[in-house]
Copies of this chain bind each other. A is one copy, B any other.
Amino acid sequence: MISETMYELGSRRSSIRELFEYGKRAAEAVGAENVYDFSLGNPSTPPPPAVTETMLTILKEQEPCAVHGYTSAQGAYSVRKRIADDLNARYDASLTADELYMTCGAAASLCIVLRALTAFPCCRFVTQAPYFPEYKVFVESMGGSLTVATADTDTFDLNLEALASCITPDTQGVILNSPNNPSGVIYSEDKLKALASLLTARAKDYGRPIYLISDEPYREITYGKTVPYLPHLYANTVICYSYSKSLSLPGERIGYIAVPNTVTDADRLYAAVCGAGRSFGYVCAPALMQQVAAVCSGMTSDLSSYRRNRDTLYTALTDMGYDCVVPDGAFYLFVKAPGGDAVAFSERAKKEQVLVVPGNDFGCPGYLRLSYCVDHAMILRSLPAFQRLIETV
């Protein structure tokens, strides 16, 4: 007499969350300093100072009923205006406040957009492996189905041949995530342009639009390379954003959806986004954090510690014989599992108190995701365990 689907979803945690909870128990048992937890993308760098300063200023100077009151369902107008201005300045875009909808983070952004777009039975969404495993949960929860284009494991860039074979007349949207979780790769502009051409041609063939859903919480977490602004390459792009990573605020649940007016049926889609948010009980995004996002949009926490972690871990592991691509963004290494079986490796690693997520759920069996948004000293302490793990394959 309880929803079996929801029971299943709630009792089988994601492998990431499972490891995270395991890590918390292990830390209690053997001491946090003896657990090497690379499981979760929980930023380890504090927010930019402006984040805390903004909160303190608001709390001290503004009238609390105004600060903490309901905003419009799509977010306070002044907040959306300021964020639109920031995006326009950074990406030479022309967004207005009315094309933005504030959300409780990237997962909310995605669920809302997917529900708004799930317009017919067997509505199909396509994504590129490796991909964030909750995409499957979200798409299927809305009544759609997710088709995964196999990875190009040489580069982890877009695999255009695989994508082309996945896109069919019942494809409503393509979900991309760049910089990518779990590979850290930034999709190249050339491949993105080729995908845009493919989608344009297919949409014309099928006589219906294909939406590009750009999930970009790691947009600003980069180490030199530029992340193309997708609406410039493909007009029918909807952006799902979160400040979780750029401002190190993952627990606060604040982000936005952008439906640029170049999108097919933009006004109707924006209204459907409002409807989908309402149908889930999202009322409005957290009010204080809306103001913080408005002030701090475009800032990032100090990325140098992530870069140092990346360089230390990448260099140490590849020196030991581990195989992985250099990640240009996000804070993950996607490492080929020594021995080939990522689940077996992850289980062996747990015995060394090393927590790494098997790539199976990311659509890439045989690979391991290591989140390096961790204490640098923990990386150094973990290296002997990684050495033992590769020696004993």
Contacts and interface: CB of A to CB of B under 8 A. Distances in A.
A286 to B, nearest CB: 5
A330 interface: no
Nearest to A211: B1
B4 A119 contact: yes
A49 to B, nearest CB: 10
A56 B65 CA distance: 16
Given A3-B272, A104-B281, A283-B105, A68 B47 contact: yes
Given A6-B275, A116-B2, A280 B64 contact: no
A7 B283 contact: no
Q: Which 7 A-B pairs have the closest CB atoms?
A: A251-B287, A10-B275, A9-B275, A10-B274, A111-B281, A107-B281, A6-B275
Contact of A284 (B51, B60, B253): B253
Residue among A6, A17, A110, A285 with max Cβ neighbours from chain B (10 Å): A6
A84 to B, nearest CB: 19
Contact of A286 (B44, B276, B286): B286
22 contacts: A2-B116, A2-B117, A2-B268, A3-B117, A3-B118, A3-B272, A6-B115, A6-B275, A7-B275, A10-B116, A10-B273, A11-B275, A46-B64, A56-B56, A64-B248, A108-B280, A110-B281, A111-B280, A111-B281, A112-B281, A138-B279, A286-B286
A7 B273 CA distance: 8
A10 B271 contact: yes
Q: How often does this chain occur in the complex, in copies? A: 2
A161 interface: no
A264 interface: yes
A55 B57 CA distance: 12
B46 A65 contact: yes
Interface in A163-196: 172
Contacts of A52: 59, 64
A115 B3 contact: yes
Interface stretch (A30-38, A69-77, A313-321): A69-77
A288 to B, nearest CB: 6
Given A46-B65, A111-B281, A286-B286, A276 B6 contact: yes
